[in-house]
Structure 1
Amino acid sequence: MWSAVRPYTARLLAAGLAGVAAELCGLGLVAAAAWLIARAAQQPGLAALSLAIVAVRGFAVAKGSLRYAERLAGHDVALRALAELRGRVFDALAARRRDLASRDGDALTRMVSDVDAVQDLLLRCLLPAVAAVVCGVAGVVVCAVAAPGAAFVVAGGLLAAGVVVPWVAWASGGRAAARAAAERERLAVRALDLLEGGAELAVFGASGRFAAAARESAARLEDAERVTTRVAGGVTAAGFLLQGLTAAGAAWVAVNAGADEVAVAVVALTALVAVEAVLPLASAAQRLREVLPASRRVAALLAAPPPPRPERPRPLPRGPLAVDFLGVRVAYDDARDDASGTYALDGVDLTVERGRRVAVVGASGAGKSTLLAAISGEVRPESGTVRLGGQDVAFCDPGEVRSAVRGLTQDAHVFATTVRGNLMLARPDATQAQLEAAARRARLLEVVDGLPGGWDTVVGEGGRGLSGGQRQRLLLARALLADPPVLVLDEPAEALDPATADEITRELLTLPGGGTLLLVTHRLAALAAADEVIVLDRGKVVQRGRHENLLGRPGAYRDLWESELLTT
């Protein structure tokens, strides 16, 4: 995790030095001002005060300037490190998506809250600690010069405020901080369920139950944060009490040691500033206890070995690619061959020639989406081989496979940006003519013309602001714009009216050009245009052939056709 900060070590060092210098200037300012005020009361000549006057002005100006420089450099390092680290976490989550057991809410927590913890580690823990140590040592030195006996009192106060109080904050707030971190993660998961799955929860009458669970998590989080707030308040009060006692004790020792009034004033005020510099260590310790679990999660994610990659990846040929399945078996959740029949794909043998347009049909849960995921490498077969263009996917570069097999999947996402921006994710160098061509094929062009900002209309996260059909057209247009060697489309006409859905499906299967097409659909009316129809049932290929030939004989395809006729 610290590797994200390493490129900015020089800037971080500059921020630390600026913070230390600012604290020293603050200490010097108070010491010089105390000496000046006490000495001026003795009414010496102006020449005797001129150096102190200049010192007060210089320390005052320098403190503000150095503090600004420290904030500027520190936040610059933190924000740059956050940007780089967030990219690494995103890449790690994307690379391990199929291997992670975490839900989307956990991934969101890692991307936002956990990564933000790095900023607090730098700005609220590391930099204040360095400045506090240096300023504390300098305060002891100043007091030792003014009144040697008082330096021991100041050193004791610094140890109490800078070591004992932070340890108490760490120990007493640790359990509450751990509870708060856990509840914050649970609340993120439940809030995301409500936000992203609100419509589905409402349909199944589960909105109240999920909302109650979210409120329960929020209440537990509030309780944990209330405890941490009480600890923080107690720690702050203890720090201020120690600050006052240290200043009073140092002044008392200086007076009893026979120091003059100028030295007493310098000792008292220097003790105040020195202890004040270490007071942030208590809140830093408490915050460190809170962010350590988050930083450990990020570090564990980045340190985890990536999915295995071939040592010498085999290149994929250019142009449309043939797809071959040789005895492919895929099981989710470590399922094995048992009475429950939990294989998503069970010994699939299948060949799709390059450039062919093939429809994949079957009842829900038949394994259609898993078939597409196996082609793109998103799921690994438990046994068997998947080939693209004659090359075993297991021996190809995963990035090249993802580039070669693209399209519209069930988890396709609409980002909170413009319509144009969402489309150009598929092809950043696309021209306006290419955008319009893809939009026209997906029936999106009329939607864009009706939007207030046209192509530059901003849509919400997940497609908020668009209807279900408009969102589906946008996703389909993005898939068509990519124009990969193998185009996979999972229910591309979902949420569209039947006439439009059949029209789009027919065009996808008949228009020339493009790569090999595998289209998953529940609608069979337009499949006469397909080169071949593949029927899956319980993870197995049970029928394949032309639409009209399959309808001419009994079997799963004719059952699906009759079922569709009944529902329409």
Structure 2
Amino acid sequence: MKGRFSGCAWRLLGAVLAGALARWCGLGLTAAAAWMIARAAEQPPLVALGLAIVAVRGCAVFKGVFRYAEQLAGHDAALRILAAVRVRLFDALGRERGHGRDASALNGMLSDVDHVQDLLLRALLPASGALLGGGAGLVLVAVVRPGAGPVLAAGLLVAGVLQPCAAALAARRLGAAVAVRRDELAAAGLDLLEGADELAVHGATDGAREAAGRAASRLAKLERRAALVSGTVTAVGFIVQVATAAAVLLSAREAGTVTAAMLALTSLVAVDLVLELGGAAQQAVTSWPAVRRIAALLRTPEPAGSSDPLPPGPLRVDLLGASVRYGARTVLAEVDLQVDRGRRVAVVGPSGAGKSTLLAAISGAVPLDRGSVLLAGSPLSSYAPDDVRRAVCGLAQDAHVFAATVRANLLLARPDATDAELEESVRKARFADDLAALPLGWETPVTPETLSGGQRRRLLLARAFLADPAVLLLDEPTEGLDTATADALTRDLLTSPGGGTLVLVTHRLAALRHADEILVMDGGRVVQRGPHRALASVPGPYRDLLDTELLHAGAPLDPAK
């Protein structure tokens, strides 16, 4: 990653150099053209203008070349930096799993990343070009006419320091106010849209519209003020530009008409270049808070460089006093769990019992507040995070099906899988018959029209089988399936030879007689554990869940069978 940023720094430096050369060519073009026009008015021999003509042509051509090189190198560097920042951002988010990051927060962070591009392309590059270009103009004027140098320096000071500071201050104050008013208007508009029925029932629609109108008026007023400030800054910059050129012209008039005209026009261009600092300052003020937020997130400590290798094959899993809290609510409370290599353990319980959190704790997706998770006898932190993610995975409740073909969705689990391995995974997931009925088979795009909810679930299960992890975690893999298929699939999961250690969360109990052990959870705690026959033969939470399932199925209450 450091090498990638180093390469981007060299590209960015190349963009700065190309921008400086483009601006120097612009200065040279103006100076040469001014000298040539003023000298031509004196009707000298054509040979006296030859060098100026070549200079004008050369500067005109190379100005465009260097400007193109600046844009090319600058955008290339910015896009590479953004790609590297996004990778590091998602790595940092991965290290912060379980700390309350939701989709809106993620979208906000990705929006912040775009401000990095704006800071580079609309602030850093223009500012560096303005400083180098304006500085070159000052050197040229001071060398040709030393007396005009201080005059131009004063103009550059106003245009390059006072004007950008005023622009940045105005952008900071008005930008914050405009953001607040936009949020107010968005909230008022959302209330009108989503609460239309309630507002109509209570006769409050007109009042809500008036509130939204007032919010829009306040925002419009601030935006007009921002436009006025921006226009004023631009007008002041133009006045400074013209005044500086006029002052340089007066201070250099004793050097002759040709020299004075050349220096005046050169000063005009130099001040115009420095005026770019105003826009760069406004962009920097706008983008800097977002860049600071990104920098703070990227300072999340990275995992230690050394890690233990994971042993091959099915792995033993141990939870020792595992506790997880979400705010004031305890979702796992002092849970102890031992799953030997290759064992099949089922986890059942009512909704909100902590079953999904238990799986997330085993995989390391949710950090523990107390206790520890051991994999093959060692803490998860002793292994490389990528190794843990590959070894402990499966099917989560919110697993995502991508807008791609069936084959592409499966190959996410193992890109080098053979056709035979793909076919075996869909067979184990009982998805083979559905796949054969699809119009394009493996190349069928996955959409709500092509696959039902149950079929999508089995596709996800096939992807989990294809990954073939050392510890397979399945959260409600039969959700959306009919009862017969769900029970058959659960039975296959618990009885099929081979595979890794299995921890299965399910609400279907009929096939759990084949599980090595069943954990019954309630309120974040393990309230019962043991094999199906033992749990079903005594009164308790498991017996209650089983009786409820049998009643819904219309079967006799005879758990022993």
Same fold (TM > 0.5): yes
Show the counterpart of 2:499: 514
Check the 8 A contact 1:108/1:188 in 2, yes or no.
no
Give the C-alpha shift of residue 164 in structure 1: 1.0
Alignment of 1:548-563 (within 5 A): 548-563=533-548
Are residues 1:138 and 2:132 paired? no
Show the counterpart of 1:329: 323
| Residue among 259, 276, 279 paired with 2:275 | 279
Distance in 1 (alpha carbons) for counterparts of 2:101 and 2:220: 24
Task: Give the unaligned 5+ runs of structure 2.
Answer: 199-207, 554-561
Distance in 2 (alpha carbons) for counterparts of 1:221 and 1:427: 52
Are residues 1:167 and 2:165 paired? yes
Q: Deviations over 1:344-365 (max 9, x none)?
A: 2223233222212221100011
Give the C-alpha shift of residue 546 in structure 1: 3.1
Alignment of 1:431-446 (within 5 A): 431-445=418-432
Q: Deviations over 1:91-118 (max 9, x none)?
A: 11112222x34332222322x2222222
Show the counterpart of 1:91: 91
Q: Deviations over 1:325-376 (max 9, x none)?
A: 333333332x4xxxxxx43222323322221222110001111112112211
Distance in 2 (alpha carbons) for counterparts of 1:229 and 1:449: 63
Specify the SS of the correspondent of 1:32. helix
Q: Deviations over 1:376-405 (max 9, x none)?
A: 122333333433233343544443332221
Distance in 1 (alpha carbons) for counterparts of 2:409 and 2:178: 36
Distance in 1 (alpha carbons) for counterparts of 2:361 and 2:331: 11
Q: Deviations over 1:29-84 (max 9, x none)?
A: 01111111121122111011111111100111111111111111112211112111
The structure-2 alpha-carbon separation of the partners of 1:395 and 1:80, relative to structure 1 and needing over 3 Å to count, comes to closer
Show the counterpart of 2:108: 109
Specify the SS of the correspondent of 2:62. helix
Distance in 1 (alpha carbons) for counterparts of 2:422 and 2:534: 38
Residue correspondences, number: 535
The structure-2 alpha-carbon separation of the partners of 1:225 and 1:565, relative to structure 1 and needing over 3 Å to count, comes to farther
Distance in 1 (alpha carbons) for counterparts of 2:281 and 2:85: 23
Distance in 2 (alpha carbons) for counterparts of 1:184 and 1:303: 31
The structure-2 alpha-carbon separation of the partners of 1:33 and 1:448, relative to structure 1 and needing over 3 Å to count, comes to farther
Check the 8 A contact 1:157/1:275 in 2, yes or no.
yes
The structure-2 alpha-carbon separation of the partners of 1:364 and 1:397, relative to structure 1 and needing over 3 Å to count, comes to same
Distance in 1 (alpha carbons) for counterparts of 2:273 and 2:454: 60
Alignment of 1:456-495 (within 5 A): 456=443, 467-495=452-480
Are residues 1:373 and 2:369 paired? no
Give the C-alpha shift of residue 276 in structure 1: 1.6
Check the 8 A contact 2:324/2:331 in 1, yes or no.
yes
- AA in 1 matched with 2:257: E
Show the counterpart of 1:535: 520
Specify the SS of the correspondent of 1:371. helix
Show the counterpart of 1:504: 489
The structure-2 alpha-carbon separation of the partners of 1:236 and 1:500, relative to structure 1 and needing over 3 Å to count, comes to farther
Show the counterpart of 1:318: 312
Normalised to the residue count of structure 2, the TM-score between the two structures is 0.85
The structure-2 alpha-carbon separation of the partners of 1:231 and 1:319, relative to structure 1 and needing over 3 Å to count, comes to farther
Distance in 1 (alpha carbons) for counterparts of 2:183 and 2:441: 38
Give the C-alpha shift of residue 290 in structure 1: 1.1
Alignment of 1:383-394 (within 5 A): 383-394=370-381
- AA in 2 matched with 1:562: D
Alignment of 1:46-445 (within 5 A): 46-98=46-98, 100-110=99-109, 112-145=110-143, 147-178=145-176, 231-254=229-252, 257-306=253-302, 313-333=307-327, 335=328, 342-445=329-432
Check the 8 A contact 1:181/1:290 in 2, yes or no.
no
Q: RMSD between aligned alpha carbons?
A: 3.6
Distance in 2 (alpha carbons) for counterparts of 1:548 and 1:537: 20
Distance in 1 (alpha carbons) for counterparts of 2:312 and 2:219: 54
Distance in 1 (alpha carbons) for counterparts of 2:28 and 2:270: 10
The structure-2 alpha-carbon separation of the partners of 1:96 and 1:227, relative to structure 1 and needing over 3 Å to count, comes to farther
Q: Deviations over 1:223-248 (max 9, x none)?
A: 87776555444433332332233333
- AA in 2 matched with 1:155: A
The structure-2 alpha-carbon separation of the partners of 1:221 and 1:553, relative to structure 1 and needing over 3 Å to count, comes to farther
- AA in 1 matched with 2:417: A
Distance in 2 (alpha carbons) for counterparts of 1:447 and 1:187: 49
Specify the SS of the correspondent of 1:378. coil
Specify the SS of the correspondent of 1:325. strand
The structure-2 alpha-carbon separation of the partners of 1:319 and 1:75, relative to structure 1 and needing over 3 Å to count, comes to same
Q: Deviations over 1:281-300 (max 9, x none)?
A: 11110110111111111111
- AA in 1 matched with 2:301: P
Are residues 1:25 and 2:10 paired? no
Distance in 1 (alpha carbons) for counterparts of 2:184 and 2:374: 41
Task: Give the unaligned 5+ runs of structure 1.
Answer: 194-200, 206-211, 336-341
Give the C-alpha shift of residue 531 in structure 1: 2.9
Give the C-alpha shift of residue 459 in structure 1: 5.1
- AA in 2 matched with 1:60: A
Q: Deviations over 1:259-295 (max 9, x none)?
A: 4332232123212211121122111101101111111
- Give % identity: 57
The structure-2 alpha-carbon separation of the partners of 1:301 and 1:481, relative to structure 1 and needing over 3 Å to count, comes to same
Q: Deviations over 1:178-220 (max 9, x none)?
A: 466789999999x9x9xxxxxxx99xx9xxxxxx9xx99x979
Give the C-alpha shift of residue 468 in structure 1: 3.2
Are residues 1:544 and 2:544 paired? no
Give the C-alpha shift of residue 20 in structure 1: 0.6
- AA in 2 matched with 1:167: C
Show the counterpart of 2:8: 8
Distance in 1 (alpha carbons) for counterparts of 2:480 and 2:232: 57
Distance in 2 (alpha carbons) for counterparts of 1:23 and 1:560: 78
Distance in 1 (alpha carbons) for counterparts of 2:427 and 2:174: 56
- AA in 1 matched with 2:155: G
Distance in 1 (alpha carbons) for counterparts of 2:233 and 2:449: 45
Distance in 1 (alpha carbons) for counterparts of 2:21 and 2:223: 34
Distance in 1 (alpha carbons) for counterparts of 2:58 and 2:139: 21
Distance in 2 (alpha carbons) for counterparts of 1:411 and 1:225: 42
Distance in 1 (alpha carbons) for counterparts of 2:440 and 2:114: 34
Check the 8 A contact 1:177/1:289 in 2, yes or no.
no
Check the 8 A contact 2:438/2:450 in 1, yes or no.
no
- AA in 1 matched with 2:320: L
Check the 8 A contact 2:97/2:367 in 1, yes or no.
no
Normalised to the residue count of structure 1, the TM-score between the two structures is 0.84
